[in-house]
Amino acid sequence: MKTNIKIKRVYDPPAKQDGFRILVDRLWPRGLTKEGVVFDDWVKALAPSTALRKWYRHDPALWADFQKEYRQELKKNKIIPAFVAAHKGKKVITLLYAGKDNEHTHALVLRDFLEKQFSEQE
């Protein structure tokens, strides 16, 4: 079974089509309470490192370099194999992120990376 990985802002309302909802930010989203967010898991270790996040500052001019550096972090991330093994049977996973910029979010890079990992496990 192929796992469909979606991305969505954590501030957007949940939907049944979201499947298993995973928050993938290192920091808790501003202005939200844990009781006010519908999520199944919070996996901080999938987010960019603090150093990379601070360097990037969500600056679109740094997007290409950020993607390259984040992919390198993901390749070295020791939790990826266990994460894929734990979630490979799920039909839909939605990665939740808090950033305002939908075109320059780490969740895009993470989704693409995880899609490759899941496809290698099928």
pLDDT digits (tens, 9 = 90+) for 38-76: 999 999 999 999 999 999 999 999 999 999 999 999 999
Q: Tell me what pLDDT residue 122 has.
A: 65
pTM of the model: 0.95
Asked if pLDDT for residue 120 goes beyond 90, the answer is no
Report the share of the chain in percent with pLDDT over 90.
90
Task: Measure CA 38 to chain center.
Answer: 15
Q: Please name which of 73, 82, 88 lies closest in space to residue 120, comparing C-alpha atoms.
A: 88
Residue 40, number of CB atoms within 10 A of its CB = 14
The answer to whether residues 118 and 95 touch, using CB atoms and an 8 Å cutoff, is no
